[in-house]
Every structure is written in C-alpha cells, then in structure tokens.
Amino acid sequence: MRTLTLAILFLTLAITANGQTKNDMREFDPNFAHTVFFWFKNPDNKADRAAFEKSLQKFLDNSEYAKTSFIGMPPKASRDVVDGSFTYSLIVTFESAEAQQNYQDEAPHKVFIEESSALWDKVIVYDSKGVQ
C-alpha cells in the first residue's frame, strides 16, 4: 500500500510539475518581437510595482495575440554598455506585424494602459521583425 501511495504521489508531482498554462505552451515566434521599456515615476514604490505587475500579467493572460512574453527588471550588476535605468521591460512576440497591431487595439491592452499609465514617466518601444 505504501508503494502504491508513493507511486501515485510521484505521478501527481510529475504531472503537476510539467503542467503548463496555455501561455506557457506558446512557442517563441521569431516573426515579430515587441520590446517595451518602462521608467516609473516612483521606481522604489512597492505598491506601484505590485499594481503594475498584476495589471500587466492580467493583460498578457487575456491577450488573443501575444504568443510569448517576458517581464523583466534590470539586473543589479551591469556593465558600462548595459542601460539599467528602466524599471521594467516587456518582450512579447507575435506571428506578424498585423497581429501586433491587433494587440495594440484589443481591450485587455487598453485596460492595462488605463490602469497603469499613471505609474510611468517614460515608455520606449522597439519593434523588430525576424531576419528571414
């Protein structure tokens, strides 16, 4: 009985550890990358950071067009060539420039901007298409 219980436990852990959400299952799409850098008005404010992260994650979870996403912060140790002046970065990939434009116009994106735009002083966007 103990062996059976341990086997079920390990099987459950293996399934849970490998279980991925629909967003995790998306593969990086090299066709179009949208990279955004945010500079906050109050970068050390923990409440602002928590609100931003929650709103951004909600937006990405509900986007019909974003294929993959990465939310980042500048590393503590930087080299002279690394600009670590931003508060957050976001990298989102799309199957096409048209899909990225649709993402700009979708309701979850507009809600995110409405909820979070008061937090930042500056935003810079770099869009790139893949080298074919």
Question: What are the structural domains, with CATH classification, of the chain?
Answer: 21-129 (3.30.70.100)
For residue 111, the model assigns a pLDDT of 97
Comparing C-alpha atoms, which of 70, 47, 49, 45 is closest to residue 60? 70
* Alpha-carbon span 111 to 67, nearest angstrom: 19
For residue 121, the model assigns a pLDDT of 97
pLDDT band at 11 (very low <50, low <70, confident <90, very high): very low
The residue with tokens 């600009």 is 83
Q: In the predicted model, what is the mean pLDDT of residues 16-23?
A: 38
pLDDT band at 26 (very low <50, low <70, confident <90, very high): low
Q: Are 29 and 100 in contact (CB under 8 A)?
A: no
* Alpha-carbon span 117 to 103, nearest angstrom: 17
Segment 53-69, tens digit of pLDDT: 999 999 999 999 988 88
